[in-house]
Amino acid sequence: MTTLSPLRRLRENGRERIEILDQTILPYRKHWLRLDSADDALFAISNMQVRGAPLIGIVAAYGLALGLGAGASNKAMDAAAARLSAARPTAVNLSWALRRMCERLSPLPIAERATAAWAEADAIAEEDIRQNRKIGEHGLALLRSLAETGRNRTLQLMTHCNAGWLATAGYGTALAPVYVGREENLEAHVWVSETRPRNQGLLTAWELLEAGAPHTLIADNAAGLLLLEGRIDAIIVGADRIAANGDVANKIGTSLKAIAARHCGTKFYVAAPGGTFDFTARTGKDIPLEIRNDDEMRYVCGQDKNGNYGKLQHAFDATAIYNPAFDITPAEFITAIITERGVCAPNAAALAELFPEKNTHV
Ligand code: MRU
């Protein structure tokens, strides 16, 4: 299967470039946007033209490579990495990828850094696809056991936000088991919650549609009803940062689903690659949570019957708005974490054993 990806690598007149699928206008328009500079990458990440923890790390790595073309001294490199790193605070893959780039590039002579930066960013993107495929295989084993013990019906999964191929270099994290399952003859139906206010669920619905995978869109508020009715076999979500004790930062609304799943005895899985684990955060309380612009709630985007794309005011100007973009799901509500290295219990000892190189606390 060709790996679907929101990233394209270009080489034009001997110059390296990337193109991204602009996610601010998906699913209405499929537009590839060329990034020419570190500033373009910074803008794309901050304004969510690219989004999803692994993808923003990868685009930041390419952004640094673009920046080094204009100057690769230690000062220039550190400044570009610091600016990119500050673009979004919660997804740790961003600082993880930039740290990896700087550690690889710093020992090199200045003249060699720009070329090496493209090679390292490519390596990060390729590794992401391999890791996500592995997450898909480990997750599929879990889905198979659920399908065997489950009711006599197609496996019913629920996800939140978008943790599919659009959020990574390929395959996705939470949706990787669904895609690998399709390659290996396990069909699942995915209930996709809209994920207000930015509606990343629409991106999930779009990419599942592109893949021909059965799915149904629901309003976020419908999740409790489906869980209480016993219509969901498992919830799978991605993550933006996972603390040493297994607490998970993910898209706002994730914790509500986890708490409801616990009440209903439904399995709740988190799928994430190594770059999402941050053991310098002892618990979720140490994870910075991004508060985004009021306008994300004040306006809705969409297209009219004539196909014209636009923005409509949704909340009244004078209404006070609070727009946290992420929440923390306490480890106690998580059944297991699916990683490229295997499936792990959400506790400090198990995570430290799986990722010993990150172990700063246990
Ligand atoms: O604000 P976003 O759209 O970047 O948030 C994305 C999420 O919360 C995803 O669930 C998470 O990054 C996992 S992506 C594989």
Q: Over the stretch 157-216, which tens digit does the pLDDT of each residue have?
A: 999 999 999 999 999 999 999 999 999 999 999 999 999 999 999 999 999 999 999 999
Three-class SS of residue 62? helix
CA 124/CA 100 separation, integer angstroms: 9
Mutate which of 20, 90, 200, 204 for ligand 1? The one with the most ligand atoms within 8 Å of its CB, which is 200
Q: What is the pTM of this model?
A: 0.96
| Helices within 69-187 (DSSP H only) | 74-85, 93-105, 110-149, 176-183
Residue 68, pLDDT > 60, answer yes
User: How confident is residue 362, by pLDDT bands cut at 50, 70 and 90?
Assistant: very low
CA of 241 from ligand 1 middle (Å) equals 10
Concerning whether 220 is annotated as a catalytic residue, the answer is no
Question: To 10 degrees, what angle do helices 38-46 and 74-85 make?
Answer: 20
Burial of residue 121 (number of CB atoms within 10 Å: 0-12, 13-18, 19+): buried
Spatial distance between the Cα atoms of 359 and 362, rounded to a whole number of angstroms? 6
Beta bridge partners of 342: 339
Q: If you take atom 8 of ligand 1, which residue's CA is the nearest one? A: 251
Q: How many helices (H) and strands (E) does the chain have?
A: 11, 15
Active-site entry in 128, 233, 240, 278: 240
Q: Is the per-residue pLDDT at 1 higher than 70?
A: no
Atom 10 (ligand 1) nearest CA:
238
Mean of all residue pLDDT scores within the chain = 96
Collapsing DSSP states into helix, strand and coil, what is residue 11? strand
CB atoms within 10 A of CB 343: 18
The number of residues in the chain equals 362
Mean pLDDT of 65-72: 95
Token couple for 322? 């609070």
Nearest to 251 by CA among 51, 1, 23, 49: 51
CA dihedral 106, 110, 113, 114 (to 10 degrees): 140
Which of 48, 51, 90 is the pocket-test mutation for ligand 1 (most atoms within 8 Å of CB)? 51
Choose between 361 and 295: higher pLDDT: 295
pLDDT of 361 higher than 80: no
Please give the pLDDT value at position 234. 98
CA 14 to chain centre: 32
| Dihedral of alpha carbons 171, 172, 177, 182, sign | negative
Q: Name the H helices within the chain.
A: 38-46, 53-68, 74-85, 93-105, 110-149, 176-183, 200-210, 223-228, 254-264, 295-298, 348-354
**pLDDT at 115 exceeding the cut of 80:** yes
CA–centroid distance, residue 14 to ligand 1 (Å): 34
CB 190 within 8 A of CB 214: yes
- Whole-angstrom Cα distance, residue 345 to residue 318? 46
- State the average pLDDT over residues 115-126: 98
Ligand 1 binding pocket includes 207 (Cβ within 6 Å) = no
Weakest-pLDDT range from 27-41, 139-153, 221-235 = 139-153
Is the CA virtual torsion 302, 271, 166, 243 positive or negative?
A: positive
What integer is the mean pLDDT of 266-270?
Answer: 98
Q: Radius of gyration (Cα) for the chain, nearest Å?
A: 20
Q: From the CB of 325, is ligand 1 less than 6 Å away?
A: yes
User: How large is the average pLDDT for residues 43-64?
Assistant: 98
Question: Which residue's CA is the closest to the ligand 1 atom numbered 15?
Answer: 163
State both tokens at 230.
Answer: 């016993």
Residues of the chain above pLDDT 70, percent? 98
β-pair partners for 300 = 312
- Specify which residues 11 forms β-bridges with: 16
Question: Using 50, 70 and 90 to split pLDDT, how confident is the model at 38?
Answer: very high
Give the Cα-Cα-Cα angle 249, 250, 256 (nearest 5 degrees): 100
